Amino acid sequence: MEAAVSAPMRVSLGLVRWSPCGRYVASASGNRLAIRDTQSLQLVQRYSTADVVQAVAWSDDSQLVLTATYKRAVVQLWSVQDASWACRISEGVAGLVFARWTPDARHVVTVSDFQLHATVWSLEDPTARCTIRSPKLAADGLSFSANGDFLAVAERHDCKDFIGVYSCESWELTAHFSIESYDCVEIVWSPDDATIAVRDTHLEFRVLLYSPDGTLLAKYQAYENALGLKAMSWSASGQFLALGSYDEHLRVLSHINWKPVADFDHESIAVTSSHTNQAAVEYEENFADANVMDRPQGKRVTVAQRSSSLLSNSLQAASAAAQAAGGKKTRDICFVTRDPPFSVRTLSSDPLTENPKIESLTLHSVVSLLEAVRNLRWDPVKNRLAITSGQNRVHLWTPKGISWVDIPNEAFQARGLQWAPSGDTLIAVDRQDFCTITL
């Protein structure tokens, strides 16, 4: 596939982020923050921080950038347009484990060490702040409603789990209720703002669905006496909730009755016909017979396409490789952002990516790569999926087929991917470098 790949640029800890407007890219390397124009990649601003940057986040209006140094318990805010403006937030001896913007881009939420308290800091009035006592979690325990009007916080009081709902206008508590969880590990507000999903302990499979006023809408438990959920993800409309569990199943719940409308088994889906149709397509990456000297190890990689509803040798090899690796698997689930017919799931230690078709609940295609899948991301504009397996190559899947872009640097190993909001440019991230891919 024809694409323009930029020269590698320095980054540490994978800290590179697109601005929400898509005009800028912020990246951190050591104690330096660089803000670049996305078209020319020229520096717009460069700042020196208090210490090594451990987190980077854009405000929703793309005017400010947040950097956090957790070991110093310091958050610093930087302006894209005004190099003379800066803001510093210090948690002091309380420590710092997490910081993020609020949707209005005029407040910052920080969580102290040991989750003693969370604080909402105002940029407009330095004396105004809101303190939330005993937040149970950091990033996974804070969830804003899609309209930005409310903040849900997972809290722990008297050895019980609670959810507090706060108004983002006054920061007053509007609802506070206990939840029927043993050990809540994540809360996520649905995109339609009607439901708060609670993922319970890793030791058991349990999902709780609450309305914002504290009414228990449903409780779903697929099985008992076994490890539970690894991840959950809402579809863009809030009509589906995808659940990835330790039994290697992907279950999709419907918002109508909170019952599963699909159950995909990662280990056996390719050997049975229950979730496939005659149009299911498998894309298998392999080495071609002919050697090409300008390729790594003199080998040329091709992708074979075929209609399939049976287990191929490549899938057997993938399963065997996963077992040989000790079964270390991390599930990644994502819905395409425009509420579409496609979802995707992968096990990052497996060279296998599956694309179920939500309209008919059948398997649409399977992508089998030579190396383990490291990361995958949907194009925010088109039905296009970017996949990387830790090599100097990015695969691009669409309903019409698969293509790829080679990064002209054999030492580059793409471990992370980020789409620009416009969907025409992609960032590939290595351990210490990143590059842009313009399609």
Residue found by looking up tokens 């439901």 in the block: 195
How far apart CA 296 and CA 292 sit, in angstroms, is 9
Work out the pLDDT band at 373, boundaries 50, 70, 90: confident
Q: Kindly tell me if the per-residue pLDDT of 408 is higher than 60.
A: yes
Answer yes or no: same fold for 1-101 and 134-265: no
Residue type, 63: Q
pLDDT of residue 341: 44
Residue found by looking up tokens 């800091």 in the block: 121
pLDDT: which is higher, 323 or 99: 99
pLDDT of residue 303: 55
> Using CA of residue 220, residue 223, residue 225, residue 230, what is the dihedral sign?
negative
Q: What is the pLDDT of residues 256-314, one digit of tens each?
A: 999 999 888 766 544 343 344 444 566 666 655 544 444 444 344 555 555 544 333 33
Instruction: Give the β-pairing of 207-210 and 216-220.
Output: antiparallel
Q: What is the CATH number of domain 134-265?
A: 2.130.10.10
How far apart CA 6 and CA 37 sit, in angstroms, is 13
Residue found by looking up tokens 């804003």 in the block: 144
Q: Structure tokens of 405?
A: 């872009």
The pTM of the full predicted model, rounded to 2 decimals, is 0.85
What are residue 80's phi and psi, to 5 degrees? -75, -40
Work out the pLDDT band at 347, boundaries 50, 70, 90: very low
Rounded-to-10 torsion of CA 407, 411, 415, 421: -30
Percent of the chain with pLDDT over 90: 67
What residue segments make up the domains of the chain, in order of their start?
1-101, 134-265
Q: Structure tokens of 69?
A: 């140094």
Strands (E), 148-237: 150-157, 160-167, 173-178, 186-189, 196-199, 207-210, 216-220, 229-234
pLDDT of residue 278: 42
**Average pLDDT, rounded, for the chain:** 84
Work out the pLDDT band at 327, boundaries 50, 70, 90: very low
* Residue 135 DSSP symbol: B
Work out the pLDDT band at 364, boundaries 50, 70, 90: confident
Work out the pLDDT band at 335, boundaries 50, 70, 90: low
How far apart CA 22 and CA 438 sit, in angstroms, is 13
pLDDT of residue 305: 56
Work out the pLDDT band at 118, boundaries 50, 70, 90: very high
Residue 373 parent element (H or E): none
Residue found by looking up tokens 């110093």 in the block: 72
How far apart CA 431 and CA 414 sit, in angstroms, is 8
C-beta separation of 20 from 38 below 8 A: no
Q: What is the pLDDT of residues 182-238, one digit of tens each?
A: 999 999 999 999 999 999 999 999 999 999 999 999 999 999 988 889 999 998 889
pLDDT of residue 164: 98
Number of H helices and number of E strands within the chain?
Answer: 1, 39
* Residue 140 DSSP symbol: G
pLDDT of residue 372: 84
pLDDT of residue 345: 56
Q: What is the pLDDT of residues 394-403, one digit of tens each?
A: 999 998 888 9
Work out the pLDDT band at 392, boundaries 50, 70, 90: very high
Residue found by looking up tokens 């124009």 in the block: 37
pLDDT of residue 399: 85
- Please name which of 98, 214, 201, 208 lies closest in space to residue 152, comparing C-alpha atoms: 214
Taking residues 8-32, what's their average pLDDT?
97
- Residue spans of alpha helices (H) in 218-353: 313-324
Q: What is the DSSP string of 51-106?
A: S---EEEE-TTSSEEEEEEGGGTEEEEEESS-TT-EEEEE-GGG--SEEEE-TTSS
How far apart CA 283 and CA 303 sit, in angstroms, is 6
pLDDT of residue 296: 44
Q: Angle at the Cα of 73 (from 68 to 74), degrees rounded to 5?
A: 50
Q: Options 2.40.10.480, 3.40.630.10, 1.10.3720.10, 3.40.50.11540; which CATH number does 1-101 get?
A: 2.40.10.480
pLDDT: which is higher, 320 or 3: 3
C-beta separation of 352 from 317 below 8 A: no
Q: Kindly tell me if the per-residue pLDDT of 32 is higher than 80.
A: yes
- Please name which of 76, 77, 116 lies closest in space to residue 93, comparing C-alpha atoms: 116
How far apart CA 54 and CA 13 sit, in angstroms, is 7
Instruction: Give the β-pairing of 276-291 and 362-368.
Output: parallel
